[in-house]
Structures are given as C-alpha cells and as structure tokens.
Amino acid sequence: MCGFLCCCDGLGQSRLLGAPRCLRGPSASGQKLLAKSRPCDPPGPTPSEPSAPSAPAAAAPAPRLSGSNHSGSPKPGTKRLPQALIVGVKKGGTRAVLEFIRVHPDVRALGTEPHFFDRNYGRGLDWYRSLMPRTLETQITLEKTPSYFVTQEAPRRIFNMSRDTKLIVVVRNPVTRAISDYTQTLSKKPDIPTFEGLSFRNRSLGLVDVSWNAIRIGMYALHLESWLRYFPLAQIHFVSGERLITDPAGEMGRIQDFLGIKRFITDKHFYFNKTKGFPCLKKPESTLLPRCLGKSKGRTHVQIDPEVIDQLREFYRPYNIKFYETVGQDFRWE
C-alpha cells in the first residue's frame, strides 16, 4: 500500500513489483493517467527470441532493461489484465476496500481509477494491461472504478475481456450515499443548488428526480439487472458499506474468501478513528501510527431536512426490497 507498506509510482504501482511497462502512443485525453509513465527503453531481444549472431566489430553496450534492479536482473512479475474488479458504487466505500485489500500479499492493485470500461475503452486492452502492476502467477491483479456499476456498456465489455472476472460491489444506504455524493460535489462547487432542489422534480407531490446521478446511482436493483445478463450472482460479491465501518475485519474476511485467498487481513490490521468515524489501517507488528484515508474521506455531511430524508427513504424502499431479494441479503436500510 502506497505510503504504508511500500513505495508507489505515479500509477499507484508498487516499486517492489517493478516499473511500469512502456506505454505506446497515448492520446491527449490519456495524458493525465500516463503523465508519470517512463519513456520507452531501447528495444532488445526478449527471452523467447534467439540472440543475433555476434558481429565482427565490437558490440555496442547492451540497453538497460526496463524494470531492472541495481544488480541488473529483471524484477519479477508480469502485467496482466485484472482477474477482479471493484465496480461500484461511488461513495459506498470502494476506496477503503481497495486500500484494505492491498495489504494482502497475494493482491496487487492499481491505485488510480483507469475508467477503462466507461471512458477509455477505445484505447484497447493492451493499453489497459500496460497500466496494471506486475504480479506473480500466484497473485491477483485488481483495479477499482466505481462508475462501472452504473455504466450500461461495462458488463458486456468486462465479459468480453474475461467471463471469469470476479466483481466486487460496495453498497450503502442509498439516501446516505446520495447525501455523501452531494457533500463531495458541494465542496468543489459551492454554488450548486440545494440537495432538496436537486432531489425532486416536485417535492410537494413527492416526485423524485431520477435523472440526477446522485439519486440514480442508489437504484441498485435497476443497475444490477444489466450485470446479471452477463455474470452469475456467484461471481458478484456485495460489500456492506455500513459493516465495512463497524466490522472491517469481518467484511474483509468475506472479500478474501470470495477472491479465493487466505484470510491474511484480520482485526489486528484495524484501528477505529473516532474523529473521522471510520477504521484506519495499521501494521500489527509496528508501533507507527495507524494510516487513515485522505481528508476527503469522513467529511461531515450537509444537514438535510428530516422530511426530505423520509421522502427519499420511501422512494428507495421498493428498489431496496428488490435488491435484497435478488442478492439474497438484507442490508437493513429501512
């Protein structure tokens, strides 16, 4: 984990796993993701290619291998397409899950959100693979982009990459999630309309504006239909954003079981920060202070009229019930 267990590069990759592979021809829209990527090293024969016959003249010095350590030997691992994805949802707790699971020695995850299956699909799978951290055969490659869950094309595109992909969805009370979403937007755009104004087309009639993304994301049952056309429920694991706060070790234990890896992350890795209101990571054997998520996590929510909250609870109730029935789990949001 960057700043906690290892040192990371510009793409959130552990230097313990090797430098990122040379990236080819990014367009202007991809410069932000690739700005810190290293330039291409001079080409040289790969291990699978036979070496060219020696020339009579003195040979030029061999090019430095990308990802070599100080001893000159290549760093281990291969860049692979992810076997698991955290696909949603925004403001549900996806960053916490990513940071927690990166503690596991059998998982390597991209630190940034590549938005491949929603915004950058046209760049191709080779571009996507080039962003991934290096992994050993025994390790899982994982990435997180919470907007995938509400992107209509994402399930088909992920299925076309690999029908065996394991999917993690972090869900949270949709009313609380919407307020958290609004709070984050308000911190960046203080002149936006009120939460109440954005939530309703006509509040007196109880007409909720489902075109507002903060409301629409919480209609989990609606979005899940798209995923079940391509993936069975057995390949989708639902994480409770509420239990991730109250029982992080329990939720992470179930995630580790779902990924088919040993339960390495336990209650010894967590410390509850009463100021922020959520758990922070710690090294069990270390005396260093626990590492909490960034300042943007744990913001105090905007105060909302209780009547507005009640109206939204009623709006979400049928969607929640259908979601519970579909996934076979009661998240107790009512």
Q: In sequence order, what are the residues at sequence separation of 6 or more whose Cβ sits closer than 8 angstroms to the Cβ of residue 98?
A: 86, 109, 111, 142, 144
94 is in an annotated binding site: yes
Does the annotation list 297 as a binding residue? yes
CA distance 5 to 111: 13
Does 180 belong to an annotated binding site? yes
In sequence order, what are the residues at sequence separation of 6 or more whose Cβ sits closer than 8 angstroms to the Cβ of residue 270? 248, 249, 279, 280, 281, 282, 290
DSSP string, 24-51: ----GGGHHHHTTPPPPPPP---TTSPP
Any known ligand binding at 172? yes
What's the distance, CA 241 to chain centroid?
14
228-232 long-range Cβ contacts below 8 angstroms, 24+ apart: 228/326, 229/155, 230/155, 230/156, 230/158, 230/159, 230/163, 231/155, 231/159, 231/163, 231/165, 231/167
Tracing tokens 């090019």 back to the chain, one arrives at 63
Question: Do residues 112 and 12 lie in contact, with contact meaning Cβ atoms separated by under 8 Å?
Answer: yes
Residues labelled catalytic: 91
299 known ligand binder? yes
92 annotated as a binding-site residue: yes
Query: Residues comprising the binding site for 3'-phosphoadenylyl sulfate?
Result: 91-95, 172, 180, 297-301
List, as residue ranges, the binding site.
91-95, 172, 180, 297-301
